[in-house]
Amino acid sequence: MQTPTDPLLTFEMMPAEPPPARRLWREGLDLAGSVAVALAMVAVLHTVLFQPFTIPSSSMEPGLVTGDYIVVSKFAYGWSGASLPFDLSFGRSRLLGRGPARGDVVVFRLPRDPSLVWVKRVVGLPGDRVQVRAGTVFVNGRAVARTPLGAVQDHDDGGRTVPLARETAADGRAYLTYAGEPGHEGDDTAVYVTPPGQYFMMGDNRDNSLDSRWPASEGVGFLPARNILGRAEMVMVSWKPGAALWKPWTWLSLQPGRLLRPIR
């Protein structure tokens, strides 16, 4: 047999609502906790898996152009202090380190100023001998095959015409370059012997790239493995020069044909 419930007793036993100020405080703490967890997840993703970057210059034309928004794989080569979202390029080793292959497009912290992030193509591995003669790249005495494809309009400079060429590495990987004009600075170099644990980098826009053909005080010099951030994988989207996040009217100024383009 059930005992009738006293409505007044039931009301008195219910927990009292917290004061509005305390309730707002709890809600604020919950929101702050959720934001902290979200930021931590983003930081982990940026450090361990992928990180986006925007291409600020034309040194990697025609494959990458100014305004490209690219995704970089952090786990492709393992991790080092350079993998962190902020500048902390310490130590010489890489966790689960795997070296890049010739022809990979690599994003890295500039040796002379690790706060700057650059992108170039790997031409020489540790121990390789690299030389440029009359614009042709030689690796260990063998020329990287180059096929002229005629003259084209420079993507970032409509008033400039440049020779387009396809280079094919020894493993069959092919990519396009702007071959440049004969006799340009950097077209004829000494033989560079790539030290252990370092890489020889070049831009695909050969007449418009400060890279390993120049010493570290001017260009890249030899790139230490610890400075590597990751491998450039894909162009997600691309905006025309002048577009910016703080200029909403420029958000739709996309460069057609560059959506979801794999980087070769």
Active-site annotation, residues: 59, 120
Q: Taking Cα atoms as reference points, which of 181, 74, 59 lies closest to residue 121?
A: 59
The sign of the torsion formed by the CA atoms of 106, 110, 114, 119 equals negative
Cα distances from 77 to residues 63, 120, 225, 243, 259, in angstroms, run 21, 15, 9, 32, 25
Contact 197, 225 (CB under 8 A): yes
Contact 244, 250 (CB under 8 A): yes
> Largest Cα–Cα distance in the chain?
105
Distance (Å, whole) CA 38 – CA 56: 28
Phi–psi pair at 9, nearest 5 degrees: -65, -40
First-last CA distance in the chain? 80
**Amino acid identity of 57?**
S
